[in-house]
Amino acid sequence: MNFTQLGFIAGSANDAKLCARLLREHAVLEPVKPKGWNDWFTRMADWIDGGMMSNTPFNIFVKGNGKLPFWAFSSLPGAKFCPGAGSCLDWCYSFNSWRNPPAFCRQLMNSLLMIHNREPIQAAWLKLPKDHHIRLYVDGDFGSVPELRFWMNNCYLRQDLKVYGYSKSFYVFLDYHRMGLSWPSNYILNLSGGHKYADVTVKRMKALPITRGEFIGITLGRNIRSKDHGTPETNRELREVAKKMGLGKVFTCPGKCGECTLKEHACGSKRFNNIPIVIAIH
């Protein structure tokens, strides 16, 4: 069994003890070395068997890096955890991160907390520094209306935070809206490309008060490296393809959040409402 299968089975198991047993079974198959798969799988299993309390083996939120300088939350990706996923599953970047034990284990940990015990997540949320940008679901997505409601309620609790994200869970958002639940003013949603929905559903999503616009990955037919993002050549190609797709005026993503404008990042700014943001699939 590979780690993709393990993530699907362990993260979706209603019985947390089954998840712990699967982790232990795979731990013995891995070389024993500090901070390797064996080590982290064993730590994760011990934490699960201990009741999945606040003594989490990883930080629930992480402060970003050069590409993403904001605080962020991630969970497991894939069809089970991203109910609106479509063609994006063919090139999902999150699966590549599973080369590193902490990335996989943190995503699994957060998925299990969302299923079994959300109190540590809320406690960590309330401790985030004031007046910061927060990205929800760098990996994974909103899996249900109760999960979305949990996050929107937390946005209300921390009006000082500037919260944004990308999602393909369109029916989750539409069901939430249909129930008459309110939207916090400090959350901005980008409609992520690669979803499975028809244009009529996208149109309904665009009408939600939290929606900034679409964020679309575009294939340019060549290998795109990190240093290629934001170059005049890449931007020109993106605009040409976007025009053929009928997108009209677009904003080309430079690949590094927080550096795309002089004042604020476009994905978290209502100044860019209704303007598609495009990035080369890499």
**Tens of pLDDT, residues 42-95:** 999 999 999 999 999 999 999 977 678 899 999 998 867 888 888 887 778 788
**Top-confidence residue, 135 or 261:** 135
Closest by Cα among 177, 192, 203 to 136: 192
Position 1 pLDDT exceeds 60: no
State residue 99 phi and psi, 5-degree precision. -65, -20
Mean pLDDT of 167-188: 97
Position 280 pLDDT exceeds 70: yes
Q: State the CB neighbour count (10 A cutoff) for residue 241.
A: 18
Decide: helix, strand or coil at residue 252: strand
**Top-confidence residue, 179 or 16:** 179
| DSSP one-letter code for 166 | E
Position 8 pLDDT exceeds 70: no
Where are the chain's structural domains? Answer: 3-209, 210-282
Question: What's the start-to-end Cα distance of the chain, in Å?
Answer: 27
Q: CA-CA distance, 194 to 88, in Å (whole number)?
A: 5
**Ranges assigned E (strand) in the chain:** 62-63, 71-73, 133-136, 162-167, 187-192, 211-218, 251-252, 277-280
Position 279 pLDDT exceeds 80: yes
> Which stretch of 10-14, 27-31, 125-129 has the lowest confidence by average pLDDT?
10-14
**Top-confidence residue, 261 or 9:** 261
Partnered with residue 164 across adjacent β-strands are 135, 188
Position 12 pLDDT exceeds 80: no
Please give the full DSSP string across 210-222, using - where no structure is assigned.
TEEEEEEEE--SS
State residue 249 phi and psi, 5-degree precision. -70, 130
Q: CA-CA distance, 39 to 105, in Å (whole number)?
A: 11
- Give the per-residue pLDDT at 179: 97
Closest by Cα among 112, 98, 102 to 17: 112
Q: CA-CA distance, 100 to 267, in Å (whole number)?
A: 28
Q: What is the pTM of this model?
A: 0.92
Handedness of CA 219, 220, 226, 231 (dihedral sign): negative
Partnered with residue 278 across adjacent β-strands are 216, 252
- Give the per-residue pLDDT at 96: 80
Matching residue, tokens 């795109």 = 224
Position 249 pLDDT exceeds 50: yes
- Give the per-residue pLDDT at 256: 83
- Give the per-residue pLDDT at 111: 92
Q: CA-CA distance, 204 to 210, in Å (whole number)?
A: 12
Residue 15 confidence class, pLDDT cut points 50, 70, 90: confident
CB neighbour class for 136 (10 Å; exposed up to 12, middle 13-18, buried from 19): buried
**Top-confidence residue, 209 or 221:** 209
Q: State the CB neighbour count (10 A cutoff) for residue 254.
A: 18
- Give the per-residue pLDDT at 5: 61
- Give the per-residue pLDDT at 66: 63
> Which stretch of 90-104, 125-139, 192-206, 210-224 has the lowest confidence by average pLDDT?
90-104
Contact (CB, 8 A) for 234 and 227: no
State residue 85 phi and psi, 5-degree precision. -65, 140
Length of the chain: 282
Position 3 pLDDT exceeds 80: no
Mean pLDDT of 254-280: 87
Position 214 pLDDT exceeds 90: yes
